[in-house]
Structure 1
């Protein structure tokens, strides 16, 4: 479906190629390191305004959690039940951002799933910045509270679906931008908010990539995905592994279960009697495990610990079409999710996996005659922004300054992310992207998803500093 771009009447939306400066390019990775600076008077004023309005950001988060913006393409989800929820959440966010004098635009690649683009226009001549957050959530689970869409508080912890992943990031974006506006700051470059759909199912074509292809490109992107945990607050990441979701199906030959001795013992008919697909699947599983063990030595990246890249078997299903033990199952299917390092492509990984398993299958007489069936379902390219690039260093300095008040140690360099994000799709279009946010990755996608409310103003101060310095 061709992309539809809708410009809102309110907020002074402009026609033409939106949000991109002519001749704009990503900053060079060889740019000189920005000098370490003390916070300016303006930055301190913005910090004070963030603290003053932190309770408003908590209210925004509460309202966002109340909107069921479950990704309708989540496995096991009734898509009709949640149709339009992502759009409604973005409409709520647009209302709040409108209070900061930002113009709003809409990009709707898939009907009923509208991405929000809000822009604070700069004076011209400066670099632009996108603050990106996905508004969709995973499916609700039964946790300690009856209603996953009602924000519940215990002390300074707010529980609710999407609270940590990643509506707290949206609240921090709003908090940073309203403080910049109230402080009367003048920026040379534009600041965008890209609040997108589809991230939880790797549907970037409907979300972040649709926004970029519609012309809303920037010189850099900061993504406040959850990178905090009680032991490591505000990790700042420039890289993440790629992943690939795929299945391998093994075919067998069904017969009565009591014929197993004839199928596998000397003197029986062997494959002519029957072939249990589970037996053949175990053979293929072992071959895959062998490949994974090789990867511990062959898949390397200087920012990742040895053995970081894995081939995870998540589902095994075998039967004859119904779950019935008295038969030889004639099909077995593994669903796998693997990770791979920056510098390699999804196409290379696919070819390597197929070559290894087909090589193993060729040694088995049955599998040689009944080839493995692969289904390559979804892939996420690796993320990588040069950690020595100017944008990475601006973001790292802002992070280190703002977390110092928490007693958190400075990072000497960015670290790998614990999960994939839409950073990959900015980087795929030559836009450097950094991930750092207030949510706790350890409780993302959990039944009792929660966020520490005190992390929201910290994230907002970091984002505000990045905007003030990058777009100045």
Structure 2
């Protein structure tokens, strides 16, 4: 077969699948509405009643499993934590081709009060579908199902296997019971596409190959409580100084300034060719100081800062931890009180950076698929993959040597928002992108 004949054959296959996507797009929207109706709030989200949402992720995956079996996929449950089951759908290939995974997390953040009273009742306004989890990221599940439905409807068999990994726990980085558990159970793939939200009104289907790492941590500075009226004796010449009392807020801001100095250094020392200068930050999010209860007439004897920092691909969480602690320890050594009462660190949670070679075969195929789809939507093509604005489970595929790319129909600007929505017109567009990536990667 000549190259021209092969190209014409591939075009005919795409036309058949595109027609099937158009035909079944309304069913995909119905699936999305049904998924939204199942409260699958991550039970470890801050501020939620864990018992109220127990089993919700599993129920949503049971619903999705029914739909996947309806398009000829075999399904498997992977339950690393009781009551929180992952779903794996597999469409077997004819053999000899590379496998492709579609990863989407089924858990959502906690509901907020928005324009609609029921966050689990999807409401359509024009082409926007409102509801908890629509953009992050149940629209991706609907698009993945639609892609599989279209391939089945058009009678297209691929050489490689296609997987759908619908995982739990992503919102709290509980990958050990989610994506990593699925991989440990033997459902590895040769590459994975993660349709996390990367679309907005003027930037459709941004394809991301990399994301910054992050680290959530706190530091506590200790003081020495005394009556507020003794402040002059504690800080003025001729007084008793630290022997009288030490205000933890004063010492805390000394450490805060040291952390700001480190952040300013990072503007020059933390670089990556795909990120703009100054992209890696040390964000102070919470400050709390008291003596165990709120009381202004006392010197607080403790001050705690909660931070969230970001760091570039190529560095590890352990390296970052050592660097921060060394900087703060060196700064504290210049203050007699802090030298004798070291700053206490608590390293709470970290998300490793993500990086897949933007010149790889998988990136080339997925970028071509993305550009083909967005051209039909009158959006601009991309010359190369870009950084992602948020972390995803791409990191945990890449930790196994599996190339991972992020590109999906949702809008990151409304993810985790009270009025979360997705443009339903982007669901079939995402399905077309998935199919084109599968055809290029897994082969007929």
Shorter-chain TM band: over 0.9
Q: Quote the residue 1:360 is aligned against.
A: 331
- TM-score with structure 2 length normalisation? 0.97
Distance 1:468 1:43 in 2: 9
Q: Quote the residue 1:381 is aligned against.
A: 352
> Is 1:347 aligned to 2:318, yes or no?
yes
Alpha-carbon deviations, 1:246-297, whole Å to 9, x = none?
1111111111122111111112111111111111111111111110011000
The farther-off stretch of 174-183 and 144-153 is 144-153
Q: Quote the residue 1:18 is aligned against.
A: none
Identify, as 1 or 2, the structure richer in helix: 2
Find 1:176's aligned residue among 147, 169, 186: 147
Find 1:128's aligned residue among 99, 106, 128: 99
Q: Quote the residue 1:103 is aligned against.
A: 74
Distance 1:36 1:458 in 2: 22
Alpha-carbon deviations, 1:136-180, whole Å to 9, x = none?
111111111111111111111011111100001111000111001
Q: 1:36 touches 1:397 (CA, 8 Å); kept in 2? A: no
Q: Quote the residue 2:113 is aligned against.
A: 142
1:44-443 equivalences in 2 (<5 Å)? 44-443=15-414
How far 1:43 moved relative to its partner? 1.0
CA RMSD, 1 decimal: 1.2
Instruction: Work out the number of aligned pairs and report it.
Output: 438
Alpha-carbon deviations, 1:289-343, whole Å to 9, x = none?
1100110000001111111111111111111111221211111111111110010
Distance 2:219 2:147 in 1: 47
How far 1:37 moved relative to its partner? 9.0
User: CA 1:188/1:36 → structure 2, altered by over 3 Å: closer, same or farther?
Assistant: closer
> Is 1:460 aligned to 2:414, yes or no?
no
Alpha-carbon deviations, 1:345-389, whole Å to 9, x = none?
001000000000111111111110111111111111110000010
- TM-score with structure 1 length normalisation? 0.91
Alpha-carbon deviations, 1:84-139, whole Å to 9, x = none?
11111111111111111100111111111100001001111110010000001111
Distance 2:138 2:307 in 1: 29
Runs of at least 5 residues in structure 2 that lack an aligned partner in the other structure: 1-5
Distance 1:412 1:39 in 2: 23
Runs of at least 5 residues in structure 1 that lack an aligned partner in the other structure: 1-34
Secondary structure in 1 matching 2:175: coil
Distance 2:34 2:305 in 1: 40
